[in-house]
Structure 1
């Protein structure tokens, strides 16, 4: 009969052990050596606390009932004793909650002798269900009063109104109250309760008790009597509170969400374009300044909270990064780093709207940033800026998943209020939801801004994004997970209007795009027109400045005429043709360029010789004046090439003075290593789960077999054995193994592994050659290879 915790785990079938691992995946990270090690881990504080974090309100109260109903002498309880404390709900619901606790091994043992895992008392409140400690533990006089139930009722009924209010407050939990030293009138009801021994003075943990009783505690018996209307555990809700939600049409939800998704993509692009045109400096303490955040918010047409969320999402997705400014600007006193779009932004901008939305939303789901903190003040009364380290919160991704999963569990199209959803989350995981109200509210606000929800309900493509890829039967180890949420992208693509490759030019030089422009059309419009409004149909305007900008980037007048003739579905106005021609006629009158270095000399013949010298052709010299040559190469390379060719040039500064300097040593830029966050416990299923269970079984068999090893083998490991005075010699062990190979008999082998640990194993030798023993382990159904010099003993099985 199983008596210990490890024996109960060992007696489970493979399905039961696999169910425990699935419900508590942290137990196998890493995989324990055997079931005894698994039992130790299952009773540890960290593992028990992590398991309790995932339990709902009703199950936690049933666990409190198990703690309250434990016998004083044996610390055991039973299913019937727990049901006696929960008479307000159906006994079947209580049994289901008890089964949830037993399958997780927070309760273990037979139904008539259940035991609570010891670590539960360490990681939970010392006051189960908000009830205090027993009266006989707190005070003898209070114990006498509580023993007489009739006297206790009369005393409570005789309590003054103020004292009764104190009792009702403490009975609701927690059962601890504090005396107010400054307001003595408020202490009078408490003094009366203490004098009647209904409240017991106690001291704070770690502090000596005070004569006046700074803290008071309500005994458990009094609290249970005051809860006679609601029950000993208080109000019990076996089932989650279903929010009262308005059910909206699915098509309307998807349409609203798709429109918001387009708007989020457009606003993100506008923010990044604003930062590309005018990079924002990185603050000395890190992050984006308030003024820059307001500037990009105005450019994108969103409020500051929305701009902060989009900036954080773009940074997490790799579209925005930090880049060093040039040396001249740094010397002028500006910040050493600025925020700029990265190279990935160009690839992102060239993809479809649905793919761009998916990249932003996936980054938002996993980023460890709580954007709702931006704009608030920290503990030192300093503002929290966007992209600043102060907005980092490790639990933000889990809070988003919890909030969206709670919304996904409701009826399709359900749009509940945020407060109702928070109540549901508080029931589903009270320990985890405690202190996460702001994170959950930020999750709902972010989902609405990014278009994951529409009209307050979860969209169909949002559900696909949360569901993730289905497990691949051809990839049981999960080493090739699907990278992109293809189903969500396809679903959003069907909802978005098709990209257009044309526009409508009007007489006032406005350009109307009747839909989302294709990437190529969007790039052309950015060069030749100024945006005026965005939406389902965006409006641009052609101005002299926009035409000049197009000519600056390389367009010719003929190219612009061709673009408008090819793209416009309406006749091109004559005013637009005149505008392009007039602007092009004035363009290019002055020319400028850049050169990496120059070479000047008063000797024109010498410069002619250098220009004709083939040995310096690699520096691409070009003559711009009789006494001046320029090269696109830097000065150091120009001087080096000329000196190698036999010339004797010298460098000069901006004023023309000769400048002699020692070459600087080149150094690579310092990089801060990025340390990846450890992944969470894996969700095991199928072949991987079966493999973990089999590994535990084999390790358990090996450990138990080593304990049954013969006395000679154990003595060879250095253990003290009565009556044994000598250790079997190595040569005798080799003789036993050779005979076992011939007889095909099983032997006990003692050996030292590569880590120096001494082990024993019962095997059947197959061969001995080349310094190795090969043997079969029939219990584990595996073949082992032992180095002969590591074998310490060998004894034939008795």
Structure 2
């Protein structure tokens, strides 16, 4: 259905005067990509297409829709505010104008485009509220509150869930910092990586996507070339106390919540969400449909996981978060969380047990020299030769490890652990990888690294290890191997194969090695999308100014003729003066416009070369 001439003409003129940045935002929000759009009139028609308008309306809240419904014709803003009962119209106006659903002139007159009004008037046939209902239908009843006795029970349950989720997200972030989780082309994590993350978190497989989404929302993980990686801010977050880590997750959830929903939930502490919240969202976004239901599902799911709700009811910490923000939430949840401990039990079987959540700094350092076995209220770790080697490679020494464990342990250092520490420290440095030297290059042209050890048996085992075949190792004597790969690549391959490898520089000095962080993948530019469309419509007016002006006038007249609507035509007279006529254009041919003068009720034929402006009538 073609857009009305008035809407198309005025919108095309507005689009032509809009800068590319604002136009790009508009086209992105309205999902306009049609390759058949060649000029601003085509673009105006696309934006005024009823299907495109319906998609835009489906994302608007009732207050913005009420502004649109209150102005079926150009109307002063003050009159719209009274009729729509909107206390602060600036945000709804800004949103609707940015979506090209209305315009606002310097005199604060609101003009809703005709096609928008027509679509709203057709809503009852789609099972949606009429314009009158958008203006007058009251919101559903407030959410139902629960008893104080129940709220105390719910707060305890919520704190347990908040602790478990924060801990699980921490394990997920730690795991992807060691090995990225691969993202499938069709979306979602690869199954092996999902299973690996579930094991690391101690969670069910189906919980992985939700935990990943919470971590992404909090900017703790990001997509990189190899999949999902830990973000730069993750290291600092992992070093925070448990309550501060929870606040980061809960605060990120709160930031995505629409202000209207936040206000509703804040007004009713310890209120049951359930059907009442769904009804309110249905009222607030009357055309929301699937996207609104999906968003509600995510809000409520993550609220449960974070302890903002328990059994669908706002908890004390959740109510404080919604009403007063993160500082108030901290005060409410801190007494409910298990207290952190700074001491552990070191046992003869080389396990280390923390009787409560271990303080972040102690946990982070303990992970350098021990592997996590379980992560609950009472976490357990296991010390192995491999984990001690990892710690030594990260800069620890035998003395620093012994001093740290002595200070941390409530039971001292058992003799088996002392033996393992001494043995590992004595062996540490026996197998080294460093940059290739002259001898290495002589043995293998193009060599970039070499492995050396005084243990010929160990070098022999590495040379025939099929797990290392990708390194293409070549012998250089009986105690050296060389590779075309960089030393850090060889180091991590041997580390993952559980060899006691250390890195050294060109002077033979042992140096710590950090696993490189893959850079985040920038979003791929969209082919033949917004940029191409903007280039096409700009080219349509890129001729000489006088030619572009004449083409613009002719195009406006053609649109008016097609839609049989009137225009105001300004004509330059022979004496240089200008006269404006209210005309109904009939035809453009031979360099002349044939039309009927509405005021004089006569036919006028005007030279196109004398027409200096065309504007929508009225």
Cα shift at 1:567: 1.4
Distance 2:230 2:126 in 1: 53
Identify if the C-alpha distance between structure 1 residues 540 and 715 changes in structure 2 by more than 3 Å, giving closer, same or farther.
farther
What is the alpha-carbon distance in structure 1 between the residues aligned to residue 283 and residue 109 of structure 2? 30
Q: 2:248 corresponds to which residue?
A: 359
CA contact (8 A) 2:267 2:323 kept: no
Query: Alignment partner for residue 530 of structure 1, among 363, 371, 384?
Result: 371
Do structure 1's residue 247 and structure 2's residue 147 form an aligned pair? yes
Paired position in structure 2 for 1:517: 358
| Aligned with residue 38 of structure 1, among 109, 122, 133 | 109
SS in 2 for 1:426: helix
Task: Call closer, same or farther: CA 1:296–1:248 in 2, change over 3 Å.
Answer: farther
Which residue is 2:168 aligned to? 267
Find out whether 1:339 has 2:232 as its counterpart: no
The structure 2 residue matched to 1:594, chosen from 406, 412, 434, is 434
Which structure ranks higher in relative contact order (CA pairs < 8 Å, sequence separation ≥ 6)? 2
The CA distance in 2 between the partners of 1:721 and 1:239, in whole Å, is 50
Q: What is the CA deviation profile of residues 244-275 of structure 1, one whole-angstrom value per residue up to 9, with x for unaligned ones?
A: 66435444444433332222121112223333
The correspondence for 1:26, drawn from 74, 91, 95, is 95
Q: What residue ranges of structure 1 are gaps of 5+ in the alignment? A: 49-117, 131-232, 325-336, 367-396, 470-484, 603-623, 636-667, 679-713, 723-755, 759-798
Q: Does 1:462 align with 2:321?
A: no
Match of 1:580 in 2: 421
Distance 1:365 1:564 in 2: 40
Distance, in Å, in 2 between the alignment partners of 1:583 and 1:13 is 76
Residues 538, 5 of structure 1: CA spacing in aligned structure 2 closer, same or farther, 3 A cutoff?
same
Contact 1:505–1:571 under 8 Å retained in 2: yes
Shift of the alpha carbon at 1:457? 2.2
Equivalent in the alignment of 2:303: 447
Aligned match of 1:559 in 380, 400, 407? 400
How far did 1:242 drift? 5.4
Q: What is aligned with 2:579?
A: 720
Of 420-429 and 343-352, more deviation after overlay is shown by: 420-429
Say how many residue pairs are matched: 400
Higher gyration radius (CA): 1
After superposition, the C-alpha distances for 1:446-483 in whole angstroms (9 at most, x for unaligned) are 211122223432234434444577xxxxxxxxxxxxxx
C-alpha distance in structure 1 between counterparts of 2:486 and 2:357, whole Å: 45
Distance 1:4 1:406, change over 3 A: closer
Does the 8 Å contact 2:181/2:193 carry over to 1? yes
- For 1:412-433, what per-residue CA distance to the aligned partner results, in whole angstroms no more than 9, with x for missing partners? 22345x3454345435554335
Distance in structure 2 (CA, Å) of the matches to 1:18 and 1:597? 75
Alignment RMSD (CA, Å): 5.2
Structure 1 residues 419 and 574: CA distance shift in structure 2, 3 A: same
User: Within 5 Å, which residues of 2 pair with 1:379-458?
Assistant: 407-410=265-268, 412-415=269-272, 418-427=274-283, 429-432=285-288, 436-458=292-314
Change (3 A) 1:719 1:270: same
- In the alignment, structure 1 residue 349 sits paired with structure 2 residue 238: yes
Using the TM superposition, give the Cα deviation of residue 521 of structure 1 relative to its aligned residue in structure 2, in angstroms.
0.4
Q: Is this contact kept in 1: 2:180–2:227, CA < 8 A? A: yes
Displacement after TM superposition at 1:526 (Å): 0.7
Q: Give the Cα–Cα distance (whole angstroms) in 1 for the partners of residues 253 and 121 of structure 2.
A: 37
Contact 1:6 1:36 in 2 (8 A): no
Conserved? CA contact 1:240–1:428, under 8 Å: no
Shift of 1:347: 2.1
Match of 2:182 among 269, 276, 281: 281
Find the residue that maps to 2:352 and give its secondary structure. strand
Q: Which deviations, in whole Å up to 9, do the C-alpha atoms of 1:201-227 show, x marking residues without a partner?
A: xxxxxxxxxxxxxxxxxxxxxxxxxxx
Contact kept, 8 Å, 2:128 with 2:287, in 1: the verdict is no
For residues 195 and 418 of structure 2, the distance between their equivalents in structure 1, rounded to whole angstroms, comes to: 38
Distance 2:229 2:313 in 1: 35
Distance change in 2, residues 1:401/1:254 (3 Å): farther
Relative to structure 1, the CA distance from residue 278 to residue 25 in structure 2 (aligned partners, 3 Å threshold; closer, same or farther) is closer
CA shift in 2, pair 1:423/1:307, >3 Å: same
From the superposition, tell whether residues 720 and 261 of structure 1 become closer, same or farther in structure 2 (CA, over 3 Å).
same
**Mapping for residues 399-798 of structure 1, pairs under 5 Å:** 407-410=265-268, 412-415=269-272, 418-427=274-283, 429-432=285-288, 436-467=292-323, 485-489=326-330, 491-493=332-334, 495-585=336-426, 587-588=427-428, 590-595=430-435, 598=438, 672=523, 718-720=577-579
CA contact (8 A) 2:398 2:421 kept: yes
Match of 1:305 in 2: 206
